[in-house]
Chains A and B, each alone.
Chain A
Amino acid sequence: MHTHFANCQEVVDYICGHFGEDENSERCRELKKHLDACPDCSTYCDSMDKMIGLYRAASPCFPEDARKSLLAALGVADEH
């Protein structure tokens, strides 16, 4: 049922890290087992992943005009 286990793994690592637990500790292994079996937790992890994906997808590229202005401001404009 875990289609995004790699992402949930990150969440487990985070949760374990948050409480000072080693990711291979018994408690973290139990947590992983729970995530594997719990649809609500799995859904929650998946939505966190989508929220981060949405944020990343909404980032624009650095415009060429801005690059030229930056180089000019630094006194190293392109030679050509």
Chain B
Amino acid sequence: MSAEDEVEVIEKAKQGDARAIRQLVDEYAPVIFRFSYNICRNQDKAEHTTQETFMSVLKKLKQFDNRSKFSTWLYTIVSNHCLMLARSEKSRRHVSLDDDEGNYPDIAVDHWDHDPEAAVERADLKQHLDAAIDKLAPEYKVIFVLRDIEGLSTEEVSSITNLSVPAVKSRLHRARAFLRNELSPVFDEQQDG
């Protein structure tokens, strides 16, 4: 969908045009679902969050004034839904990365000699990935997924999360280092074995 088409579709969706709303769903639901899944690592929860996000989007659509990109606005809404869901699961214990010390990996590391797509087909690797992600606090996960997985700019992530650019960079660095360190033993073991 071109930017011009998108503006027109959004205007029609604001008026309740069913076809326009379906177009927005087809364009953005896969993005929202993927983002949600990458935060919660659970298909049912990701589907639920996608639905909740679109309900909010339709409710608030008249407030959207095209001053930011529509996708940025959507990411703001879905991020809030993901954080709300995570906070409601109070039994979860996440690793704190707020301490400046101790979260930076040693530079001298073994090479991960594996193709990610081939590696993820292995159930044990996927389990390790899910376990590592699960330990990461949602506030860090959101930053990591927006910046590294979705490929948004630091400024966009700052705008979506309402954090300063330096705060985004700091959280991103810690999240990357944490995940990499968590996964390192698995990859090293694969390489040795």
List A contacts of B112 (CB < 8 A): 46-47, 50-51
List B contacts of A55 (CB < 8 A): 38, 129, 133, 148-149, 179
List B contacts of A70 (CB < 8 A): 25, 29, 47, 50-51, 54
B108 to chain A, nearest CB (A): 5
Question: Is the CB–CB distance between B180 and A67 below 8 Å?
Answer: no
How many A residues, CB 8 Å from partner?
Answer: 35
How many B residues, CB 8 Å from partner?
Answer: 49
C-alpha gap A43/B110 in the complex (Å): 7
C-alpha gap A52/B25 in the complex (Å): 27
Question: Which residues of chain B have a CB within 8 Å of any CB of chain A?
Answer: 18, 21-22, 25-26, 29-30, 33-34, 37-38, 43, 47, 50-51, 54-55, 58, 105, 107-112, 114, 116-117, 119-120, 125-126, 129-130, 133, 148-149, 154, 166, 169-170, 172-173, 176, 179-180, 183-184, 187
**Which A46-72 residues have C-beta < 8 A from chain B?**
46-48, 50-63, 66-67, 69-71
12 A-B pairs with CB atoms under 8 Å apart are: A40-B107, A46-B112, A50-B116, A51-B183, A53-B116, A57-B119, A58-B130, A63-B43, A66-B29, A69-B47, A73-B54, A75-B18
